[in-house]
Structure 1
Amino acid sequence: MIDQLPQELLEQILGYLPTASSITNVSQVSQKLYASVRKGENVIFHDFVKRQFPTIDAAPPWQKAAFGLTSRSRAWDRRAFVARECTPPRVEGEQTTPNGRGQTFGFMPVIDSYEVTSTSQSMRREVLAWGAGGRIVARTVQGKSTKWSSFSFPQDDRPENDILDLRLLRPHQNRNERGESMFIRRANRELALLQWTPGENDWVIISTYLVPAETAIDCVDISEDDEPLVAVCNSGSIHLFPLHTSKAKNRAKSVLLLAGPATTKQRKRCAKFLSSSRLAIAPQYLEGRQPAPIEVFDIKATESPSTHIHVSQQLEPNVSSGTHVSGRIGANVLATIDDTTAGEDSELLLSGWSDGVVRMYDLRISHNPIREFSDPVDDGQIFSILPIGQERFLAGSHQNGCLKTFDMRLNGRVYDYTATHSSSQRFFSRGPPKTGRKSGRDINIFLAVTTQRGAPASRPLHLQRGARASTYRGSLYSLTSPSPSSPTIYVGIENHVIQIDFINSDDLQSNRGGMRDLMDDRPILNLSCYERPRTGHESTDPVLLKKQTWQKDLVGTDKGHHNEPGWDERWHMEQLRGSKEKSGSWRLPARPSNRRGSASRPS
């Protein structure tokens, strides 16, 4: 009967099916239905994506988007991911140590990425770039082709030549017809626009942006407009440059002086364009015990160099409630949350603070945070934030190599693979999860990779062994994802960039949805994680450390392990022989101490 329906009505009905595989199954009933689904697949899968993932800014082809988003959602629920290192080809003559010239630590990668999909060819192109000390590394992946490019400044091992900021220009901003463009800031105060051709090392500095020698450069940001603005900020002024100019050397078009002298000695920690006319800046107080609020400036009508601008909003941190102690705290990182439903500039702002709390602000209604996200186990400073639509976000801690996941679900959850389990049971081997999202518990992932002190910066992690090797317990300096619908994120740790793909093990092994296209021959890193206690249950929720491994690695061994129901098959908990207790199980003390860091990391 259904194959007798008009095409328009059939498309409307199929767009309401709960899973992408259901739509495919309907098309296999008969040749007529197959032809009808193929004819209207753009409409059917477009409706499915917009209905099941309304807060994700997805792009066509819609069938690929539907399968990709449903697979990623299931991977998130099952804590399924594959971690590998991004290792560029070795370049002759590159530095041999990451801490040359007497440095005691390596470089801190600044990363950016984006992806676009060609509708006509259904081919995804992903661009990734990061700063490695005084060197730039760029990778372009299109289909099965991967091209690397790199550029080194003279004496790139010296700390004064390090790259502190790196921003890739998006396609609507890029004027390089032969390749890509990026804006960088270096520790030696150089601000520059570079262009290069993927796969070639023909890098060209197109423009530089000059700031007076007596003026400090604390932080920079670039607007997302077609004609981007560069904002260079310090404690007393904001210098605005048009990014695209015909000059090789440029001075600021506008110098906006902040009204009145700063009452407290400070520096500007980070800046973020909220729109083409509003700029948020997070100061860091250098004295006293007062928390530093985020300042929002309206820069639209300030073209005169002598204009003094006032703070239009001051976003206060809430440090008087809960266990957070009032003191000198400030925001380390700012990120906007895309609002795909409104079609306007986002009014939602995420901020990561030095007291370990992530605060969300709605700029329309309050100067105080509308939500706070904290971790009762790890209270390290938040150095990086990555929102994924309005579903969740990730936060990078400054200690223990800890990557935190938070579920924010501003509009509630729409797609839930466990709710459609009965209609697609054959795809799953272990049933719907009994823990995790249902119990409201997010996870912390330890990037506890093995690093070797004094090893060359170009040496891959899987080759870092020896007497001086140890587990990484440092900071996660940067986070980026090519798009809100991408299953991939990139994490910057000291001297290395880690790629994490949220893929189910069974999807990968069966190549369901073409998941093997995301993989290559790079060694896979086995990480560990644990579920954070729920709010109010810190002393009763067990914090169980789980480890990743491939099942084939356990075949023929005497390792006892337990696959957790609802978790990806790679996760297991080791169990001591003859013991019913799972090793790795621990709990927070019933009365946690107020001293910072009292809750230690599980061993």
Structure 2
Amino acid sequence: MPSSALTDLPPELLDHITTYLHTASSISNLGRVSKTLYAFVQKDAWATFNRTQFPSVSPVTPPSHKDAAQTLTALSRAWDRRAFMARQVEPHGTITSFPGDNKVETWKRPKGQTIGYTPHLDVYEEVGATWRDRREVLAFSAGAELCVREKTSNGEGEKVNWTTYRPLSALEGKDDITTLHLLRPSPDSKENAPQNLVVGTANGDLQLISLPKGGGKEVIKSYFVTQGVPIRSSSLLHHSDSQSLMVANLGDSRIALYPVNSDTQKTAPLCEFDVHGAPTSGHSKKRQRLWSTNFISPQHLAVGLGPSQEPIHIYSVTPTGIKTEPTRTFGLQERHNNQLDGIVKAPTSSVYPIVPLPPSSASDSFVGGNIFLSGAYDAVIRLHDLRSKRDVEQVFIDPTDDSSIYSLLPRGQEKLVAGTSRHSLLKVFDLRLGAKCYSYLDATQETTGALTHQTHSPETMNWNLFARPTSTNRHRNAESSVYSLSASSPHSPYLYLGLESSVVSLAFTGTMDRHPDPVFFHPWQISKKGKGFVNDYGAREVANLAMYDQTPDMKLLTQKSILDTWRTAKGSGRQPSADGSLVEGLDERWKTEGTEGQWRQSQ
């Protein structure tokens, strides 16, 4: 079609044509045809590309849809190639310590317990006037201590500030933090406004804490009335235009709903009640307890409990509180061979994490707070729909490992990341709900005219990661659970994991990528001394991890060091071995190690 014919088309038809352009280079080439089409691409085409190719992870209104497309395509490629770098996250540099507003150079790990601390995580990000202007705030617990990192960047460099808070009278074990939430700042907040957090502890304290910035010396605290009952879990319902709400699980069976207001010194619950699960059957008479509470929408609260035949309860949230009787309970019925008529008797189990499925820009009505995921003691992840008569719509099972599911994090409607109860094992599932549209292989074929064959079957899209370094680390327990998972947004390349006595960051980017996403990363370069590599991470070490596909042969892959990877790529005496140690289609750091069982025994 001549360019003049294209420019004569109405915007609606041009936008429809754009939906058939599956690569960023196609959109860019369209903008080179004429000034008219260039204007169309800048105004509309990039937004359409993001919406159609990344319907569940695309940001709604980024400052630049073109820059957002670069981030989304780079991140998708990194996930497909399993290209990431792992680092342990802990306070370093100059740390502001409260109470007292003291400056310390070295962070001291919690001591005094026979087992390590359990980190609880929360993180959010703000995008500034440009796509590169960003502020990320990460908070995690370390026993009784609260650690907060504020990272600001503009694509050229970044600035990191660490703040810690530990009450003077806190005792390890007794006063450990059991739940925390970062409160998002209001749109009119000043740059040096205090960071507000909600923190619950094992001794029954539930507080709103304001950590000062800009020279403040006092930590301001307000209290939620709990009668001293231990805080087991909580969930925060953020409202940008009205008061936020928080629900807390007190003890083994009690639920309390609170308004969140930093101007109130003491806050009583709007309502509270006890949750009683369905009785267990047969010889099992274990005591039931609540394990999790989570808002799956502004109208619905989900509660996970057990052991029970109906371990999921859904409660209606109203303007006056929470209805004390569940509107629905879910059992754990499963389908055989994905056939709807193959229903088996519901098992008795406990449900730990419950998370809502994120909406899609292409199908908001499909989700709408009705669809959610649960993880259970029986190692099964289930997808549920409030509108369906069935208890379970779909199950996600790893045939290679039967660890209980302790944490869940959907990445849009494309992938699901699950943390397990042992081996520091992280599981990645392909949700296959129709949200995965973009493929970097299409872009490769378009730019080179040739394409190396790579199979993406359901089996090879599901994989497991040992989220601890292969080298010995005295601070990391080999049998640790993955207690918590968090990410600031579906399009962020950073994923944070809470392991025993450790927080690990996974940054999804290619090792040898000469043109990484400039919003978050700079190309790796050899240091001036020739002994290592540096980039926007600075000098902090990159861990080497291990993974395997959820397939019967369970062939283990391990990551080489950055330096060894660079030497292999440059051909400086370290070439791929004859046994195929470099894995086609994956990041250059991966090499074949053996079987998962052999490796685990050697550890």
- In the superposition, the TM-score normalised over structure 1's length comes to 0.81
The answer for the alignment partner of 2:49 in structure 1 is 48
Is it true that 1:274 corresponds to 2:279 in the alignment? no
State the Cα deviation string for residues 527-576 of structure 1 (Å, max 9, x = none): 1111112xxxx4xxx221111113235543588352222111111125xx
Residues 109/572 of structure 1: CA separation in 2 closer, same or farther (3 Å cut): same
State the Cα deviation string for residues 150-179 of structure 1 (Å, max 9, x = none): 212225451111111111122459977714
Quick one: which of 140, 160, 163 aligns to 2:150? Answer: 140
Distance in 2 separating the partners of 1:510 and 1:260: 54
Farther-moved stretch of structure 1 (343-352 vs 137-146): 343-352
Residue identity opposite 2:398 in structure 1: D
Q: Secondary structure at the match of 1:449?
A: coil
Residues 262/546 of structure 1: CA separation in 2 closer, same or farther (3 Å cut): closer
Is it true that 1:169 corresponds to 2:183 in the alignment? yes
CA contact (8 A) 2:413 2:436 kept: no
Is it true that 1:342 corresponds to 2:364 in the alignment? yes
Is it true that 1:231 corresponds to 2:247 in the alignment? yes
**Displacement after TM superposition at 1:438 (Å):** 6.6
Residue identity opposite 2:59 in structure 1: A
Distance in 2 separating the partners of 1:228 and 1:69: 30
Quick one: which of 231, 235, 238 aligns to 1:221? Answer: 235
Q: Secondary structure at the match of 2:446?
A: helix
**Displacement after TM superposition at 1:282 (Å):** 1.0
Alignment of 1:203-352 (within 5 A): 204-213=219-228, 215=229, 217-226=231-240, 227-234=243-250, 236-244=253-261, 246-256=263-273, 258=275, 265-285=287-307, 290-300=308-318, 309-318=324-333, 328-340=348-360, 341-342=363-364, 345-352=368-375
Quick one: which of 71, 74, 78 aligns to 2:74? Answer: 71
Alignment of 1:398-409 (within 5 A): 398-409=421-432
Distance in 2 separating the partners of 1:174 and 1:497: 32
Farther-moved stretch of structure 1 (59-68 vs 8-17): 8-17
Residues 108/524 of structure 1: CA separation in 2 closer, same or farther (3 Å cut): same
Distance in 1 separating the partners of 2:25 and 2:587: 20
Distance in 2 separating the partners of 1:260 and 1:473: 31
Distance in 2 separating the partners of 1:333 and 1:469: 26
Residues 519/97 of structure 1: CA separation in 2 closer, same or farther (3 Å cut): closer
CA contact (8 A) 2:475 2:502 kept: no
The answer for the alignment partner of 1:37 in structure 2 is 38
**Displacement after TM superposition at 1:375 (Å):** 1.0
Distance in 1 separating the partners of 2:198 and 2:476: 35
Distance in 2 separating the partners of 1:496 and 1:199: 29
Residues 96/183 of structure 1: CA separation in 2 closer, same or farther (3 Å cut): closer
The answer for the alignment partner of 2:395 in structure 1 is 372
Q: Secondary structure at the match of 1:43?
A: helix
**Displacement after TM superposition at 1:291 (Å):** 3.6
**Displacement after TM superposition at 1:371 (Å):** 0.8
Quick one: which of 4, 7, 26 aligns to 1:5? Answer: 7
Farther-moved stretch of structure 1 (273-282 vs 87-96): 87-96
Q: Secondary structure at the match of 2:76?
A: helix
CA contact (8 A) 2:145 2:165 kept: yes
**Displacement after TM superposition at 1:75 (Å):** 1.4
Distance in 1 separating the partners of 2:109 and 2:125: 32
Unaligned runs of 5+ in 1: 453-463, 575-582, 588-598
**Displacement after TM superposition at 1:216 (Å):** 5.5
State the Cα deviation string for residues 360-379 of structure 1 (Å, max 9, x = none): 10111135111111111111
Distance in 2 separating the partners of 1:584 and 1:236: 43
Residues 325/520 of structure 1: CA separation in 2 closer, same or farther (3 Å cut): farther
The answer for the alignment partner of 1:580 in structure 2 is none
State the Cα deviation string for residues 219-242 of structure 1 (Å, max 9, x = none): 322213341112123455432211
CA contact (8 A) 1:148 1:199 kept: no
Residue identity opposite 1:516 in structure 2: F
Residues 432/417 of structure 1: CA separation in 2 closer, same or farther (3 Å cut): farther
Q: Secondary structure at the match of 1:274?
A: strand
The answer for the alignment partner of 2:542 in structure 1 is 524
Residue identity opposite 2:211 in structure 1: W
Residues 473/239 of structure 1: CA separation in 2 closer, same or farther (3 Å cut): closer
Distance in 1 separating the partners of 2:122 and 2:495: 10
Alignment of 1:355-366 (within 5 A): 355-366=378-389
Distance in 2 separating the partners of 1:513 and 1:128: 21
Is it true that 1:154 corresponds to 2:154 in the alignment? no
Quick one: which of 423, 434, 439 aligns to 2:454? Answer: 434
Unaligned runs of 5+ in 2: 96-103, 338-342, 523-534
Distance in 2 separating the partners of 1:523 and 1:374: 34
Residues 432/117 of structure 1: CA separation in 2 closer, same or farther (3 Å cut): farther
Q: Secondary structure at the match of 1:309?
A: coil
Residue identity opposite 1:72 in structure 2: L
Distance in 1 separating the partners of 2:52 and 2:119: 37
Residue identity opposite 2:25 in structure 1: S
Residue identity opposite 2:465 in structure 1: I
CA contact (8 A) 2:372 2:383 kept: yes
Q: Cα RMSD between the aligned structures?
A: 3.5
CA contact (8 A) 2:85 2:507 kept: yes
Q: Secondary structure at the match of 1:400?
A: coil
The answer for the alignment partner of 1:17 in structure 2 is 21
Farther-moved stretch of structure 1 (292-301 vs 363-372): 292-301
Is it true that 1:195 corresponds to 2:189 in the alignment? no
Quick one: which of 539, 548, 556 aligns to 2:559? Answer: 548
Distance in 1 separating the partners of 2:211 and 2:260: 17
The answer for the alignment partner of 1:592 in structure 2 is none
Residues 360/174 of structure 1: CA separation in 2 closer, same or farther (3 Å cut): farther
Residue identity opposite 1:298 in structure 2: S
CA contact (8 A) 1:110 1:492 kept: yes
Is it true that 1:186 corresponds to 2:212 in the alignment? no
Q: Secondary structure at the match of 1:130?
A: strand
CA contact (8 A) 2:74 2:517 kept: no
Distance in 2 separating the partners of 1:529 and 1:168: 32
The answer for the alignment partner of 1:457 in structure 2 is none
Q: Secondary structure at the match of 1:230?
A: strand
CA contact (8 A) 2:463 2:547 kept: yes
Of all paired residues, the percent bearing the same amino acid is: 27
Distance in 1 separating the partners of 2:49 and 2:319: 43
Residue identity opposite 1:149 in structure 2: T
**Displacement after TM superposition at 1:204 (Å):** 2.5
Is it true that 1:510 corresponds to 2:515 in the alignment? yes
Residue identity opposite 1:572 in structure 2: K
Distance in 2 separating the partners of 1:217 and 1:367: 32
The answer for the alignment partner of 1:596 in structure 2 is none
Is it true that 1:449 corresponds to 2:469 in the alignment? yes
Residues 327/439 of structure 1: CA separation in 2 closer, same or farther (3 Å cut): closer
State the Cα deviation string for residues 280-321 of structure 1 (Å, max 9, x = none): 111134xxxx44521111231655xxx972121101112696
**Displacement after TM superposition at 1:347 (Å):** 0.9
CA contact (8 A) 1:259 1:309 kept: no
